[in-house]
């Protein structure tokens, strides 16, 4: 009678060893990866393989937007990722944050009823039957959304337990990847700031050296022009135009090199955006460009330098106009982002509240190879551009304690460029 029991014990022991080896292999495969995007892609594939799910979606928290958003889709409906977006106040996020355990959509009927119609509709349309939260130090950092298993069988309690354990370890790997990404971005910004400062000093010296002889050249050419016959005057006009172009570049160099003092006061960003759009009204009409504005913030006031901030918004809007000579659309959105926890030097700190200005156009977009260079001084793809506008804008936003980022798409149905500007809320300064 004891023999079957021994066989069963040995079988269980072997299964435990096999499970432990699998866990070890799984965790090694995810902890080796440093890059967040690559890690998420790997997690999506691995988790789907673990239980042979017909679909899997990975959702993570974005500190900048303050939302939980879909990042990776494996099988199922990839377009579902666009709708997989939740604020912290939505019922699903609240439930996962409080309970910190798996949600079986097919069994936990009362919990599903607690969700909003939108949330229930999303889960139903995507065929989600199981949700596993990603938890780090009792904090919800994301979730895994599983579709049905390929064979149609339900998820066993042992499978849910295994997925939960793996998810918690994976969440820790994600946190490390986020910290690495944060440090990498911090170093890039420091390097960029040093580079801008060095170039600024060189630019100031060069600008003064060029400007003096340039003034003499202009005066001499204008004097000679008086005695030239009509057909040759047009040649001189061309010289003067080039002199003016050099002068504009010099002015840009001087603006770039000057660390202008900020004249701080209360600035209503909503009003500032409207004032800037009024300045460009004739240009927008001339190029047949429609502008749509949307405000998603109750308080739109910050402490800042109104003139310099207007210069930034004006520069970005002009770039959008020039990118759409045959017409198009510009969407300007002003939204608030709530304080969120972000990784900082190995510990969790509270991120200040920000207002975000998003300016999106429907132009051809910026080539991927050019995106890393857009804030570099003198980089331009325009025929008559100086390449200093965005560099100056970068400096102004940095001095305000904010951030500026450019995203662009050159292929597909929705081409265009989006400029995101984050500025600290009034009480945060």
Q: For residue 222, what are its two tokens?
A: 């204008």
- Look at residue 347 and tell me whether its pLDDT is greater than 60: no
Measuring CA to CA, how many Å separate 187 from each of 37, 67, 117? 19, 26, 44
Question: Which tens digit of pLDDT belongs to each residue from 45-97?
Answer: 777 777 778 888 888 888 767 788 888 778 777 777 778 888 888 999 999 99
CA pair distance 223, 306, nearest whole angstrom = 42
CA pair distance 248, 408, nearest whole angstrom = 28
| Beta bridge mates, 302 | 267
What pLDDT score does 166 carry?
81
Question: Which tens digit of pLDDT belongs to each residue from 230-264?
Answer: 777 777 777 888 888 777 777 766 665 555 677 89
Alpha-carbon torsion, ordered 89, 92, 97, 102, to 10 deg = 180
194-257 architecture in CATH? Answer: Orthogonal Bundle (1.10)
Question: Is 2-183 in CATH node 3.30.450.40?
Answer: yes
CA pair distance 425, 429, nearest whole angstrom = 7
Where exactly are the structural domains of the chain?
A: 2-183, 194-257, 262-428
Tell which residue, 195, 67, 79, 90, has the closest CA to residue 141.
67
262-428 architecture in CATH? Answer: 2-Layer Sandwich (3.30)
Coil, strand or helix: which one is 362?
coil
What pLDDT score does 131 carry?
92
HSE value, Cβ hemisphere, 13 Å, CA-based, for 64: 14
What pLDDT score does 12 carry?
53
pTM: 0.50
Question: Which tens digit of pLDDT belongs to each residue from 153-205?
Answer: 888 888 888 888 888 877 777 777 677 666 666 666 666 666 666 666 666 66
- Look at residue 379 and tell me whether its pLDDT is greater than 80: no
- Look at residue 145 and tell me whether its pLDDT is greater than 60: yes
∠369-375-381 over CA atoms, to 5°? 55
């Amino acid at each position: 009678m004891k023999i079957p029991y021994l066989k069963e014990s040995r079988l269980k022991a072997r299964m435990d060893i096999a499970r432990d080896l699998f866990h070890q292999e799984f965790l090694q495969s995810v902890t080796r990866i440093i890059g967040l995007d690559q890690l998420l892609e790997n997690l999506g594939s691995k988790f789907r393989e673990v239980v042979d799910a017909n679909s899997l979606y990975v959702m993570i928290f974005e500190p900048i937007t303050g939302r939980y958003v879909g990042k990776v889709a494996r099988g199922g409906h990839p377009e579902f990722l666009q709708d997989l977006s939740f604020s912290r106040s939505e019922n699903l996020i609240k439930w996962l944050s409080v309970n910190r355990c798996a949600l079986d959509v097919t069994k936990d009927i009362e919990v599903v009823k607690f969700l909003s119609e939108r949330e229930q509709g999303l889960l139903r349309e995507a065929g989600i039957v199981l949700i596993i939260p990603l938890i780090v130090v009792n904090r919800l950092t994301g979730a895994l959304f599983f579709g049905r298993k390929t064979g149609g069988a339900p998820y066993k309690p042992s499978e849910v337990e295994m997925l939960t354990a793996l998810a918690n370890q994976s969440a820790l790997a994600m946190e490390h990847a986020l910290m690495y990404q944060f440090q990498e971005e911090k170093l890039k910004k420091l390097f960029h700031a040093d580079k801008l400062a060095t170039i600024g000093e060189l630019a100031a010296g060069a600008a003064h050296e060029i400007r003096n002889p340039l003034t003499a050249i202009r005066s001499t050419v204008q004097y000679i022009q008086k005695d030239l016959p009509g057909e040759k005057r047009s040649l001189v006009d061309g010289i003067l135009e080039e002199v003016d172009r050099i002068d504009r570049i010099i002015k840009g160099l001087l603006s770039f090199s000057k660390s202008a003092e900020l004249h701080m006061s209360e600035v209503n960003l909503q009003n500032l955006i409207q004032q800037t759009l009024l300045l460009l009204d004739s240009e927008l009409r001339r190029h047949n460009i429609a502008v749509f504005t949307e405000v998603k913030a109750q308080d739109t006031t910050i402490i800042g330098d109104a003139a310099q901030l207007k210069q930034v918004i004006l520069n970005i809007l002009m770039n959008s106009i020039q990118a759409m000579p045959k017409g198009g659309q510009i969407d300007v959105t002003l939204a608030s982002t709530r304080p969120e926890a972000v990784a900082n030097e190995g510990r969790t700190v509270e991120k200040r509240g920000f207002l975000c200005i998003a300016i999106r156009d429907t132009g051809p977009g910026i080539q991927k190879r050019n995106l890393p260079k857009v804030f570099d001084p003198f980089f331009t793809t325009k025929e008559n551009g100086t390449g200093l506008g965005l560099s100056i804008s970068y400096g102004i936003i940095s001095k305000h304690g904010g951030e500026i980022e450019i995203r662009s798409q050159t292929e597909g149905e929705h081409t265009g460029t989006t400029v995101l500007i984050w500025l600290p809320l009034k009480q945060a300064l």
